[in-house]
Structure 1
Amino acid sequence: MSQRRSAQWYAGTDRNAYIHRAWMRRGLPSDAFDGRPHIAIANTASDLTPCNRHLTEVAASVAQGVYAAGGIPLELPVVSLGETLVRPTAMLWRNMAAMATEEMLRANPVDGVVLLGGCDKTIPSLLMAAASVDLPALVVPGGPMLTGTFRGVPLGCGTDVWRLSEEVRAGTLSEEQFLRSESSMIRSRGHCNTMGTASTMAMVAEALGATIPGTAGTPAPDSRLLEGSHEAGRLAVEMVHADRRPSGLFTRASFLNAVVALAAVGGSTNAVVHLLAIAGRLGVELTQDDFDATGAGVPLLVDLQPAGRYLMEDLHRAGGLLAVLRQVEDLLDDEALTVTGRPLTSYLADAEIWDREVIRPRDEPLQASAGIVVLHGNLAPDGAVIKPAAATPALLHHRGRAVVFDSIEDLHARIDDPDLDVDADSVLVLRGCGPRGYPGMPEVANLPLPTKLLEAGVRDMVRICDGRMSGTAYGTVVLHVAPEAAAGGPLGLLRTGDVVVLDVAHRRLDVELTPDELASREPAPAMVEAFAAPRRGWEQLYVRTVMQADTGADLDFLVGSSGSEVSRESH
């Protein structure tokens, strides 16, 4: 057996080894430094990340599993990002959280790590860190909340916020009733109970092979989550003994399996930028176009909000992700391994569908081809994405007059103006919201509809943005337009009144202007004035080094795995 990484701190009789051992003797057994694997528990629990508050209890179960398998568990609080609270957007700090976790894992005497995440950016940042440091690692997803009800109807966390708030603006729901629903929305611990980004990233992590198969989607209050957490602790020790690392597990085939899963469950568009970033850390060849080539023709099998009717608790009782994947097993690579050392497909033989309303069999899909589509054209030279499963079918081929907003503030100032020159056929365009522009690529692409159109009964319009939208959101929304306006993309040259053509079937997003007409234009001064221009700190570093959405919006100097080499000693 080769020497443990942690032994480079603890082994020997010199002064440095003495210091390392002595300061860690706070209840550890005397043989803790004699070759037992030291397992970090990277915990994103925080009172300010309410979806992850319960992860401290989960960490305790992981620690018991590590001890039971002969390892030494070491809880490591890491940067936690609360999607609903931090401003301007949690995405601004995803890369920072990944970098900080990576550096703490590399700097400390640990041999492996269990990653605890739930809220949207926590699982992506943890996986990016694990990919870069390349220590044996696995994910325990924190799980969705239980279903709450309002006026006898189940509430989808996030999705129903968008729906009910629009009804208030339309005058069909009172503000009093809207506010009354607030206490019903969040019934228990856990993240959003829709197929938003948090649920999606748990599903994607399992399809990627990063979790114990069958774990993702277990509700946060379910005792089986703690049982699975205990098993994850045991497995982490096994992974160290077997030297089972991200670089050997997460291959291109693994990522394409995740793309298939993303399509089959109707997952969040945010998974595109997260998977691209994780692959970039590993040096795995994965492009935005792979999501279309591999996923667009995959049938939508899960009837979950925002693309359907049900919620995560229903998906779990109906058979969970493994039951879904069994229906599309022929589309999966049967050699792609999981953290257990076994192929993902080896777990599918006994996966049954227990409710065919929630999980549809392959021959009765909700939609025959519903994966994320990648668009190109003179408005998106490097691509843009759309989620047909959450769109209005009649709008997937649309030609309309652009109504352009130069910033989020401009949108808020004018969207409810009764004199706004807009109709149901217009195309709403919001720009300056990409990685550099805001900065951080906020979830604003699902623009609110003009009040006067809501009052007339309109509930969807084509919307285009260089930002993102919440995974809980819905509508005919083109997002992640690249290059963004702040990076010189043609979206910055668009003017109100230009005719925009969306043609999803042919993967096109264009403005009816000649190349010469576009080239003759200057960026709108009001838009340029609104771009982010930070002078110091993280925002300044981010704006200067962030890449575009089509490559995952990571920082350019973080791409590529750098390994788990030990930091230089300073004693």
Structure 2
Amino acid sequence: MTTTKKPADLRSARWFAPDDLRSFGHRSRMMQLGYSEADFMGRPIIGILNTWSELNSCHSHFRERAADVKRGVLQAGGFPVELPSLSVDESFTKPTSMLYRNLLAIETEEQIRSHPLDGVVLMGGCDKTTPGLVMGALTAGVPMIYLPAGPMLRGNYAGQKLGSGSDAWKYWDERRAGNITEEQWQGLQGGIARSAGVCMTMGTASTMTAITDAMGLTLPGASSVPAVDSGHQRMAADCGRRIVDMVWEDLTPDRIVTEAAVRNAAIVAMATGCSTNAVVHLIAMARRAGVDLTLDDLDALGRTTPLVANVRPSGKDYLMEDFFYAGGLRALMKQIEDRLDLTAMTVTGKTMGENLEGAKVFNDDVIRPLSNPVYREGSLAVLRGNLCPDGAVIKPAACDPKYHVHEGPALVFDSYPEMKAAVDDENLDVTPDTVMVLRNAGPLGGPGFPEWGMLPIPKALIKQGHRDMLRISDARMSGTSYGACVLHVAPESYVGGPLALLKTGDIVRMDLPARRLDMLVDEAELEARRAAWKAPDPRFERGWGWMFSRHVTQADKGCDFDYLERGFGPAAGEPEIF
């Protein structure tokens, strides 16, 4: 460890060291908590930002992991303090956890700025907690390390390996078709999520922790360790030990999250079969770090990065536990290291290349070689056209190839309840060529950009044996989902984007190789529809939703708040202490 700071240089010293009335008060209140000056004076004070909640099953083990982190901090000579943070859980939050990602980012930034913290350990994992915590910590600027929750154990029912999310969608369609009994459905319900931890598919949670790992913000390979593996406890303690050294080294996030680190993260995301949600979160994280990552950048990387992680939903056979046993993220990155910038700095104080030394693949069907990828191109593709001039996203490897070039009549729904009622009507006028469209489901229209984009296959088609069709929306889709779903249409229909002008019966054409999505409607007719369009009523009249509605950016810009982006103005400095 190269020490660049002395105890007097610590940020916390400005709270506790001066011989004045204010610092007397700070020291006195620490003593009120039962601590002596020997506990906190001259030691790095480490904030443990814990997103544990009794309504967040992904983080149900975080009480114990916080204790493991504290053990590591104390062993390294630091002083740990745990701060509860907003637990943006995916399972129970309505209308969508995405509505609150930026609230977690704001809370994280202000928790760090306003308290005597020299460094922080960020404890997250469930979908929005990773970007929310990282976005806030990047702006706050103190040394930080990310502790991923880890994936849960493989699901199991009647000898079948189950993947959370992916198999829920799959078997729900079978139940709607009458192929699943009530007893089987209950068995699936009890077997699909068997332990603490995030979804064990390569959904949004594992995608975002892998991105953070590849960005250099976790201990090497930490994102792959299963939540209930004893190695996860050891990793948590390692995080506590390492953050103390990072404080003395003054290893701040601006030295880690560079353009090279962001590019590494994007390439790794493509190679893993990442969630489409990665687009929104990675762009937002990059912009917080001052890196101008665009949809076009991601599409270019998607065209040249093969998918090598054979993990559901983009892969066919395996889950995150299998990925871990096959070598985990370090092994995958070793497979593609010639595409990465190995000089990028990481939280270890070493380069990415040094962190990957000795990494090996133990099952080359789970982590494929470049010569035998799951899919020749990466996980995501960005479409443009007169339906989405600012872009839309699709996951090519997760949809039926016959829809890669497709033309058909639109069936348009203005709300999720309208769509939900229609798809269960066995007399719905729909064919396999129909293009289902849901609008008013974007950042403002949803509200909050809900995961409604995997529109259910109409029951009429399910009973005919169909399991995929082209679907388009300005919503997001769960990272555990699959199918020919075009998402994140920008600008969204709620603000008058072209999707608002589409009518049932209009012909829609998608050409995935050409990256095009268009409605085949005459421009004069579109102008007439545009002139007749009326803005919908506001979704919120007060509170957080009101604030969100006035400041959230569109999907192609990451859905951060405009006043939090780097270009808006300098970040507030440390508060004055009087």
What band does the TM-score fall into relative to the shorter chain? over 0.9
Q: Deviations 1:2-60 (Å, cap 9, x if unpaired)? A: 62111111112211101111111234342234321111000001001111111111111
Q: Alignment partner for residue 386 of structure 1, among 386, 390, 394?
A: 394
Matched, 1:115 2:125: no
Query: How far did 1:189 drift?
Result: 1.0
Aligned counterpart, 1:327: 335
Q: Secondary structure, in 3 states, of the residue corresponding to 2:266?
A: helix
Query: How far did 1:557 drift?
Result: 0.9
- Are 1:378 and 1:511, in contact at CA under 8 Å, matched by a contact in 2? yes
Distance in 1 separating the partners of 2:150 and 2:454: 25
TM-score, with structure 1 as normaliser: 0.97
Q: Secondary structure, in 3 states, of the residue corresponding to 1:381?
A: coil
Matched, 1:49 2:77: no
Query: How far did 1:528 drift?
Result: 5.3
Aligned counterpart, 2:426: 418
Q: Alignment partner for residue 138 of structure 1, among 120, 133, 145?
A: 145
- Are 1:134 and 1:563, in contact at CA under 8 Å, matched by a contact in 2? no
Q: Alignment partner for residue 441 of structure 1, among 436, 445, 449?
A: 449
Q: How does 1:85-104 map to 2 (within 5 A)?
A: 85-104=92-111
Distance in 1 separating the partners of 2:350 and 2:486: 38
Aligned counterpart, 1:59: 66
Q: Alignment partner for residue 43 of structure 2, among 20, 27, 36?
A: 36
Q: Secondary structure, in 3 states, of the residue corresponding to 1:75?
A: strand
Aligned residue-pair number: 568
Aligned counterpart, 2:326: 318
- Are 2:551 and 2:563, in contact at CA under 8 Å, matched by a contact in 1? yes
Aligned counterpart, 1:537: 543
Distance 1:532 1:409, change over 3 A: farther
Distance in 1 separating the partners of 2:62 and 2:572: 26
Matched, 1:169 2:176: yes
Aligned counterpart, 2:359: 351
Tell me which moved more, 341-350 or 538-547.
Answer: 341-350
Aligned counterpart, 1:469: 477
Q: Secondary structure, in 3 states, of the residue corresponding to 1:227?
A: helix
Aligned counterpart, 1:6: 12
Residue 174 of structure 1 aligns with an amino acid whose one-letter code is T
Q: Deviations 1:327-370 (Å, cap 9, x if unpaired)? A: 11111012211111212122223111111221111111111113
Gapped regions of structure 2 (runs ≥ 5): none
Aligned counterpart, 1:479: 487
Tell me which moved more, 365-374 or 424-433.
Answer: 365-374
Distance in 1 separating the partners of 2:434 and 2:473: 14
Residue 102 of structure 1 aligns with an amino acid whose one-letter code is E
Residue 289 of structure 2 aligns with an amino acid whose one-letter code is L
- Are 2:428 and 2:460, in contact at CA under 8 Å, matched by a contact in 1? no
Residue 484 of structure 2 aligns with an amino acid whose one-letter code is T
Q: Alignment partner for residue 240 of structure 1, among 241, 247, 254?
A: 247
- Are 2:427 and 2:460, in contact at CA under 8 Å, matched by a contact in 1? no
Matched, 1:128 2:171: no
Residue 366 of structure 1 aligns with an amino acid whose one-letter code is V
Q: Alignment partner for residue 557 of structure 1, among 527, 542, 563?
A: 563
TM-score, with structure 2 as normaliser: 0.96
Q: Alignment partner for residue 280 of structure 1, among 268, 287, 290?
A: 287
- Are 2:496 and 2:535, in contact at CA under 8 Å, matched by a contact in 1? no
Gapped regions of structure 1 (runs ≥ 5): none
Q: Percent identity?
A: 47
- Aligned CA RMSD, in angstroms, stands at 1.5
Aligned counterpart, 2:311: 304
Query: How far did 1:420 drift?
Result: 2.1
Distance in 2 separating the partners of 1:237 and 1:514: 63
- Are 1:280 and 1:559, in contact at CA under 8 Å, matched by a contact in 2? yes
Aligned counterpart, 1:507: 515
- Are 1:492 and 1:523, in contact at CA under 8 Å, matched by a contact in 2? no
Aligned counterpart, 1:227: 234
Distance in 2 separating the partners of 1:29 and 1:504: 64
Q: Secondary structure, in 3 states, of the residue corresponding to 2:350?
A: coil
Query: How far did 1:82 drift?
Result: 1.2
Residue 122 of structure 2 aligns with an amino acid whose one-letter code is L
Query: How far did 1:563 drift?
Result: 4.7
Q: Secondary structure, in 3 states, of the residue corresponding to 1:521?
A: helix
Residue 345 of structure 1 aligns with an amino acid whose one-letter code is G
Tell me which moved more, 512-521 or 428-437.
Answer: 512-521
Distance in 2 separating the partners of 1:273 and 1:77: 26
- Are 2:270 and 2:301, in contact at CA under 8 Å, matched by a contact in 1? no
Distance 1:495 1:465, change over 3 A: same
Aligned counterpart, 1:548: 554
Matched, 1:292 2:299: yes
Q: Secondary structure, in 3 states, of the residue corresponding to 2:406?
A: strand
